[in-house]
Amino acid sequence: MTEPQLDHLVYAVPDLAAGVAEFAERTGIRPVPGGRHPGGTANHLVRFGPTSYLEIIGPDPEASARPRAFGLETLTAPRLVAWAVRPGDIDKAVRQSREQGYDPGDVQPLSRRTPAGVLLEWRLTRREDPAAVRPVPFLIDWGDTPHPASSDLPLVSLTSFSAVHPDPDVLRRDLAALGVRLDISQERETALLAVIDTPLGHVTLR
């Protein structure tokens, strides 16, 4: 199985405007609005290159209810909460992962509209997981929709991406079922760590 490629990192913030402003202050890069999701979230984006990006996601200020996605219902501080990889065939990747002992969840359709009103549609795996940080990636397939990183987003460099976990061997086993590799160190609390190179120097998101 060809190793899935990094698609994007998910940086959740309890207040979208404040989270974007803090990111801009730390990095010297101003993320641009990505759009609104039907589930009550909205996002801003920066890209790592032509095929991967960072999503800053928070409650949609125009939505009435606080969303549950990525722990936003109770989130009190920004946190790198999840990541997505893009396999060559998402349905095949799900089948093979289940055969290897890890169930990434069913493949479901999602969408959002850009600020210009363009509808973006994709498919991804969804797995019920109450954990605050999800070190095993979800799978995504953009189909015929242009990849978000192919647009004119602000550019930062992803210097490194890794995880800390109380039982690295267990995490490595789940990642291997997806055909994914990641640097993992042992710590008591689970966390994802991304170091990005910005006009203001290296910045760590955790």
β-strand partners of 55: 10, 45
- For residue 131, which of 188, 176, 172, 191 has the smallest C-alpha distance? 191
Could you give the CA distance from residue 59 to residue 186 in angstroms, rounded to a whole number? 32
pTM above 0.85, yes or no: yes
Could you give the CA distance from residue 115 to residue 32 in angstroms, rounded to a whole number? 10
Query: Could you list the pLDDT tens digit for every one of the 206 residues in the chain?
Result: 578 999 999 999 999 999 999 999 999 999 999 999 988 999 999 999 999 999 999 999 988 878 889 999 999 999 999 999 999 999 999 999 999 999 999 999 999 988 888 889 999 999 988 889 999 999 999 999 999 999 899 999 999 999 999 999 999 999 999 999 999 999 999 999 999 999 999 999 99
Contact 179, 65 (CB under 8 A): no
